[in-house]
Structure 1
Amino acid sequence: MLKNRQGHGSRRQQRDETVRLDEEITAFGELLTAHTFVPGQPGADADAVADYRRALDAYEQATRSLGAGRRRSGAGRRLLPSPGRPDNLGALRALDEGRHALACLDARLSGKPLPERLPLCFFDPRHGPSVSEHPWAPGGGAVRMIAVCAADAVRLSEGDGPAVGAPAHGAGPGSSPSTRTPAAGSRPVPQKRAAPVAAAPLRDAPVPGRKPRLRERYTGKQLALRGLLALLTVHAVALYATGGVDGLWGKPLDGIAGVLFASFLGTALGAVGCLFASATYSHLSVLWRTARRGERVRAPFVRRQTSKQGKHYHVFAVTDVTGRRHEYRRSVGGPAVAPLPYRKVWYVQGVVDSDNPLGILAPLWMALVTCVCAALTVVFAPFALFLIPGLLIRALF
């Protein structure tokens, strides 16, 4: 009996998911229906037509995967679902493809940069697009980098398991859509309006009667900032009590005024020194990983790009083993500059950030910037340490 109840609950959950997904597909169809783009309109280039074709094909693929290959009732235009087992994961992948195609179309029509394609969450496509990559290993398997959603990224970083214990069945890439050319004025027919789908909470609900701890109420950066302000306050009080600044700046800056001036100047110099130290560490870490694991590869040209400030770029891309595209932008003088078919870049496998890939000469100027930032850190650090806590140590001893 328990097994029958579990099976009934599982089927009911699948039906609810199918209904929600059908509503999302319907909402996407309404967006396509209301879109003003027509393939035959003046100024419609081949790329925009291709994006529109991808969106249409993805919509049709999503409806087929959901088992809603539509059949019309005899009396009117009401659409009825045909029998068949729905493929929710296939519909999710097709819907994600269609949304990305429509976003690319809107970007082309408005002259904005094309949006980056983010794969669906590795553990469960129902979680939505991924936001970062994390190391993960299946039971008895090797560690590899996987793309995960925001909720699973938090769980993995805290040492917990993902929301789903294993990758959803059939989470591999789906079949490619057809390559037909849409006729002018062709539109999909939506069924009904979509209802919003609630996202899974990132953290558990608070326990009644228990006051949250500081680590639960604030982030690590917020706690560090509060601790630093508390230390500076204690230092200022101790410096005033010991008279550590009396006679240092002259009569106008004795007492409280001198303490405030020394605290402000020491904090400012320390902040500038920390900025240069952080830049030194950041550039040095990129140089180190590039020297250890980087390789020179060819990045083919993929598109032109114009920023909001009017700057022009040629965009080249490297595609990794998971299918994710890593882009490298190179500034050019204007839109008339012809792009090279490819450029050689430095690329590190498994790293997703703005410094991967790098231009072929980037390590040279990064080494120069690292040396300059390190030298400035050495210049600012002694002055900051003389004021905080040097004045207090001198007054005590």
Structure 2
Amino acid sequence: MTFRGGRQRGAREEAARFETRLTAFGELLAAHPFSADRPDATHEMAVEYARALDAYEAAKRAAARDLALAGRELAAGLTALNRLNAHLVGTATPEAPAPAVAKPEARRPEPQVEAEAEAAPVKGPHEVRGPDVPRPRAPGDRARPRLRDRYTSGQLAKRTGVTVAAVYLLVLAVLGSWWLALVGLMALMMGGGLALFGGLLGWTSVTQIVGAVRGGLVSAEYVRTTKKVSYALREAPYQHFYLYVGADGEKVTYQRDALSPSLAALPTRRLWLVKGGGRTGMETHLSGLLVPPLMFLLLAFGVPLFLFGTVAVLYACPGLLIRALAG
């Protein structure tokens, strides 16, 4: 019992240390001077900043179930922010030519990113090192970056989908008529949207039902109270963190809003563990009991939407193409 208690205590301390690093990285992102509307902002800078934000969100989601994965996501975010700083220095406006004896005017350094020993090493924008961090390009370097360096995976998927749909509609217009292509465009937009919304709704409902059935009442221990990185006007600015460690070592966190850091928190809370379908979390008693019936209602609403949207997409592609070929 003593050994198990020590292991759980060590796991809680490790989770608390990582949460501190994650909060510091979030505050660094919020205070970073980069903005898309600054005069020297480029698409590459926006992509790196978006990657850093995505990595921060992914690290927050993974911290509840896999600290190793969360650490890798945090390291990826730090590396992306480091590349952003490199772009900021490499694309700065060049100074006017000065005499050979004159010293160049010192540039104002960008904020440095502090990295933990276990995270990826991050240097200031004047000294960026590492094989995965590009050096600032010279003003005369016009080498065009690859698509994978210019866009994120989500952006590439969207552009590919739009390109394929445009080519297909153009083929419909050539083989059939522009009116047929317009009908195909409307069917693709309406059907694709309904199928996507219905599919997401149905999948979320199924995972919630499975997770509520597989889970059960557990006891989570209070860890700490932290201030949110950002919050809306109607949200509480602080959060109480509770941690549950399963028999297999799986860690699940639960956040409860708090209006003040001095608000007393219960040492333990009885919560309903939602586990399944790639999602692990904890809910209150009432939420855990209401999840199955509510999710069944959403499932009954999402499945027809998905089927109707799928039929509309199939009518547009390849239905309209067959109609155009048949004349």
* TM-score tier after normalising by the smaller chain length: 0.3 to 0.5
Q: Which has the larger radius of gyration?
A: 1
Structure possessing the higher relative contact order (Cα contacts under 8 Å, 6 or more residues apart)? 2
- For normalisation by structure 2, the TM-score amounts to 0.47
